[in-house]
Amino acid sequence: MLEAILSWNDSVQSWSRDAIVPVITGARARRLQTIAVLLLALLPCRQITAETNRSGMVQFSNGDIVEGAISMSAGSELKIHTGKELKSLSFEQVQEMVFEPEKETMEQKWRFPEAGQTRKEKWGESCPVREIRAIVTLADGAIVRGHMYTTVLYLEGEDRTTKIVLRAKDRGSEGQTFDDLIYPVRIAFNDNTVSVTGAIEIKDSHATELVALTPGTLLRLPGARSADDGAFRFSGLLVTNAFMAVKTPCHLSVGWPANGDTGLVARVGQSLANDEDFFDSKKLLGVCRIGDDVYSLLMLSRKRRTTLKEDESQPWRLEIWRWKDNGERMMVACRGFFFRGIIAKQEEPPTVVLSPEIWATGFRDGAELP
């Protein structure tokens, strides 16, 4: 017992000792155990030190992107189960982590009301359950896929320190939706040493910026413009398709399917009307279904008062929201933004043009956007 207490203190307070205490039994052991507990209570506490901070960014499922110094507790490891084995990864090995929703369901509490019968009885409100798969890129370019053991990271930004919990499964409370379960969808470090493979280049002679959002997690991927030929380069990607938006001096163009489902548009519009958000103006520009998910393109803007004191005080954002549709209810599951800005009160957000041609061109290497 005494040895267990000393071992516990080693991990929590980093207390070192030169000799292992022999096992003692009987009344003497109990007295020593009591003394040990009292001594430990008097020992000065020392905070757990952290691994070396690494500069990086975190994108969350609500579209927020935070930059700063990322760290984890000293001595901790990232553990991921690939389905065949459990791998331990050091913090310094990792260059990027992407987290994808593997399964999203609404579940209710249930029980068997009668012993020996298969009939289930459900009660209470449903709660969201999300199973998450991790895709980890290492410093040597290797990629590990699997389910992450619960791990805590810390991101120290300009204003505050954010606790980031990595999980393989997230369960909400009754009455919550997937939008309430905010989780990191991408963690990338600035000291990236991975050799670039599978880069995609897209040409657009009129664009000043080109941004892609991946389906599912809605990862934001800004293209880097080449000084040689003006093409936009997307490096080291694990995706083969994406939504694309182009910024020109005159307007914003978004690749979007031509045909829309009017019934689906109406349902998304109704759900937006019931949604309370910082942006009090939500202009629905387009709705489409891809697989089991529904996506909506929105121009969001703030009309009411803000805390900004400058002449330009009203934020706007061009976003895509991913929805879960269970046939009865539409729930936001994830958000991502293409572009954002701040305008004066009397101004309107930039004009957005939907382009079926950009959608048809697709996110592929060598593409030339119309």
- In a domain, residue 49? The reply is no
17 within 8 A of 39, measured Cβ to Cβ = no
Question: For 15-23, which contacts have Cβ atoms below 8 Å and span 24 or more sequence positions?
Answer: 15/43
Verify that 105 and 250 share a domain, yes or no.
no
Q: Which of 124-138, 162-176, 228-242, 338-352 has the lowest mean pLDDT?
A: 228-242
Signed CA dihedral, 231, 237, 243, 247: sign only: negative
- In a domain, residue 77? The reply is yes
DSSP state of 64: -
- In a domain, residue 301? The reply is yes
pLDDT at position 49 is 47
- In a domain, residue 302? The reply is yes
Verify that 73 and 103 share a domain, yes or no.
yes
Q: Residue 30's pLDDT band (boundaries 50, 70, 90)?
A: low
The whole-model pTM stands at 0.77
Verify that 182 and 285 share a domain, yes or no.
no
Share of the chain above pLDDT 90, in %: 48
- In a domain, residue 114? The reply is yes
Verify that 208 and 155 share a domain, yes or no.
no
- In a domain, residue 48? The reply is no
pLDDT at position 159 is 82
> What is the secondary structure of 184-231 as a DSSP string?
EEEEEESS--PPP-S-EEEE-TT-SEEEEE-TTT--EEEPEEPTTT--
Mean local confidence (pLDDT), 207-227: 91
284 within 8 A of 269, measured Cβ to Cβ = yes
300 within 8 A of 276, measured Cβ to Cβ = no
The last residue of one of the domains, among 166, 189, 212, is 189
The pLDDT of residue 45 is above 60: no
Signed CA dihedral, 196, 67, 282, 335: sign only: positive
Verify that 127 and 17 share a domain, yes or no.
no
The pLDDT of residue 47 is above 60: no
Q: Which of 20-24, 49-53, 74-78, 265-269 has the lowest mean pLDDT?
A: 20-24
DSSP state of 262: H
3 state SS of 110: strand
The last residue of one of the domains, among 189, 212, 247, is 189
- In a domain, residue 349? The reply is yes
Verify that 19 and 34 share a domain, yes or no.
yes
Domain count, the chain: 3
pLDDT at position 285 is 96
SS3 content of the chain, % helix, strand, coil (to 5): 15, 45, 40
Verify that 135 and 201 share a domain, yes or no.
no
Verify that 184 and 316 share a domain, yes or no.
no
Q: Is 238 exposed, middle or buried (0-12, 13-18, 19+ CB in 10 A)?
A: middle
- In a domain, residue 241? The reply is yes
Q: Of 182, 164, 181, which Cα lies nearest the Cα of 172?
A: 181
Verify that 202 and 132 share a domain, yes or no.
no
What would the pLDDT profile of 143-195 be if each residue is shown by its tens digit?
Answer: 999 999 999 999 998 888 899 999 999 999 988 889 899 999 999 998 866 55
Q: What is the domain extent for residue 181?
A: 54-189
pLDDT at position 25 is 47
Q: Are strands 367-368 and 200-203 parallel, antiparallel or unpaired?
A: parallel
Verify that 10 and 122 share a domain, yes or no.
no
Could you give phi then psi for residue 265, rounded to 5 degrees?
-60, -40
* Range from 27-36, 41-50, 360-369 that averages highest in pLDDT: 360-369
Verify that 335 and 285 share a domain, yes or no.
yes
pLDDT at position 5 is 37
The last residue of one of the domains, among 154, 189, 224, is 189
The pLDDT of residue 358 is above 90: yes
Q: How far is CA 241 from CA 64, 144, 195, 207, in A?
A: 22, 21, 22, 20
Verify that 170 and 130 share a domain, yes or no.
yes
Sequence-separated (6 or more) residues with CB below 8 Å from residue 309: none
